């Protein structure tokens, strides 16, 4: 029979376990910062250090510290939970993983042919404009949608523009903000039309109604182009087809970056990468549920 006193505890004291966790977490950060310095220089190393003290970087580091601390204290369940959090942040915050994810849902760039122009109209989906604190419309994260639309107009490739979108929290919704932005570029007000909708599904439903009974001053001949972010285009086209709408897809605003020189800094999770990963995941889920 084994004497209980002869058993050797595999768990450490909380203080010792915490010290081990902080030491390992600090060492990991130091390795990334110095590795980036040696590989890419001081400026990139400073950026790496900044990434590490941002909220996502801190969650990443402290989840690792917590995992080691809990494991050292013998709390296996909490250690596994922290390991899961560390792995989740590592995966979803990785720029390479995010680029691969978003690249798998983005529609390749498309150009108008000579037989397509001038378009009857160009539909630009809401989301390109953000409203500043003083109610002034500004280009938002998806601002390339509006920039591309303006390019098509000023190159005489479309006869009119349709801005879509309605805000549930503001009277100045995406369609009105889009009109204001285009008018500020000296695009004639008579060439701009608005269609409401709180989401892409509603926008397509309302566009179907619009094209069934268009205004008298709306162009009558030509094809119709659709401008939205590349990652969003496949879903938008599925919803358009469900309403019997035939659009020429003109994706823009790509999140997939050009090739760049590898750096250890790329392994540090970032909020921007999480945002890209989330957008790609949302599109994947939308396809699964048939939207």
Length of the chain: 291
CATH number of domain containing 132: 3.40.50.620
Shared-domain flag, residues 138 and 50: no
Q: How many domains does the chain have?
A: 2
The answer to whether residue 289 sits within a structural domain is no
The answer to whether residue 113 sits within a structural domain is no
What is the pLDDT at residue 127? 85
Contact 192, 163 (CB under 8 A): yes
Decide the pairing of beta strands 192-195 and 129-131.
unpaired
DSSP alpha helix (H) spans, 41-54? 42-53
Shared-domain flag, residues 240 and 130: yes
Shared-domain flag, residues 214 and 145: yes
Q: What is the residue range of 72's domain?
A: 13-92
The answer to whether residue 3 sits within a structural domain is no
Q: Give the DSSP per-residue string, 78-111.
A: HHHHHHHHHHHHHHHT-HHHHHHHHHTTPPPP--
The answer to whether residue 290 sits within a structural domain is no
Contact 174, 126 (CB under 8 A): yes
Shared-domain flag, residues 59 and 134: no
The answer to whether residue 206 sits within a structural domain is yes
User: Could you report the per-residue pLDDT of 30-66, keeping only the tens digit for each?
Assistant: 999 999 999 889 999 999 999 999 999 999 999 999 9
What is the pLDDT at residue 17? 86
Give me Rg for the CA atoms of the chain: 26
Rounded CA separation 19/30 (Å): 16
Shared-domain flag, residues 54 and 178: no
What tens-digit pLDDT sequence spans the chain (291 residues)? 445 444 334 567 888 888 988 999 999 999 999 999 998 899 999 999 999 999 999 999 999 999 999 999 989 999 999 999 999 999 999 999 999 999 999 999 998 988 898 999 999 999 888 888 888 889 998 999 999 999 999 999 999 999 999 988 877 889 999 999 999 999 999 999 999 999 999 999 999 999 999 999 999 999 999 999 999 999 999 999 999 999 999 999 999 888 888 889 999 999 999 999 999 999 999 888 877
Shared-domain flag, residues 83 and 129: no
Shared-domain flag, residues 211 and 140: yes
Backbone angles phi, psi at 138, to 5 degrees: -135, 155
Rounded CA separation 290/286 (Å): 6
Shared-domain flag, residues 62 and 168: no
The answer to whether residue 140 sits within a structural domain is yes
**Tokens representing 4?**
């209980």
The answer to whether residue 262 sits within a structural domain is no
Backbone angles phi, psi at 143, to 5 degrees: -60, -20
Return left, alpha or beta for 199; rule: phi > 0 is left, psi -120 to 50 is alpha, else beta: beta
The answer to whether residue 277 sits within a structural domain is no
**Tokens representing 169?**
């929290």
């Amino acid at each position: 029979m084994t004497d209980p006193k002869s058993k050797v505890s595999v768990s450490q004291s909380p203080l010792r376990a915490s010290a081990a966790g902080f030491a390992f977490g600090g060492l990991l950060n130091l390795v990334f910062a110095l590795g980036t310095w040696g590989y890419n220089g001081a400026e990139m190393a400073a950026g790496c250090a900044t990434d590490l003290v941002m909220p996502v970087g801190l969650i990443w580091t402290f989840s690792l510290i917590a995992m080691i601390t809990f494991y050292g204290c013998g709390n296996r369940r909490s250690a596994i939970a922290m390991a899961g959090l560390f792995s989740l942040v590592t995966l979803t915050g990785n720029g390479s993983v995010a680029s691969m994810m978003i690249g798998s849902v983005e529609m390749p760039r498309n150009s108008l042919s000579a037989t397509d122009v001038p378009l009857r109209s160009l539909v630009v989906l809401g989301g390109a404009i953000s409203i500043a604190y003083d109610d002034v419309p500004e280009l938002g994260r998806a601002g390339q949608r509006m920039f591309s639309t303006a390019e098509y107009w000023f190159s005489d490739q479309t006869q009119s523009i349709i801005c879509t979108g309605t805000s549930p929290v503001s009277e100045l919704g995406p369609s009105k903000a889009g009109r204001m932005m285009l008018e500020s570029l000296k695009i004639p007000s008579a060439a701009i039309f608005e269609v409401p909708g709180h989401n892409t599904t509603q926008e397509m439903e309302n566009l179907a109604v619009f094209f069934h009974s268009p205004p008298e001053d709306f162009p009558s001949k030509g094809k119709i182009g659709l401008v939205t972010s590349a990652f969003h285009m496949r879903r938008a086209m599925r919803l358009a087809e469900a309403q019997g709408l035939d659009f020429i897809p003109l994706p823009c605003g790509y999140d997939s970056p050009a090739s760049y020189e590898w750096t250890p800094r790329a392994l540090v999770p970032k909020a921007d990468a999480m945002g890209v990963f989330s957008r790609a995941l949302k599109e994947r889920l939308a396809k699964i549920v048939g939207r």
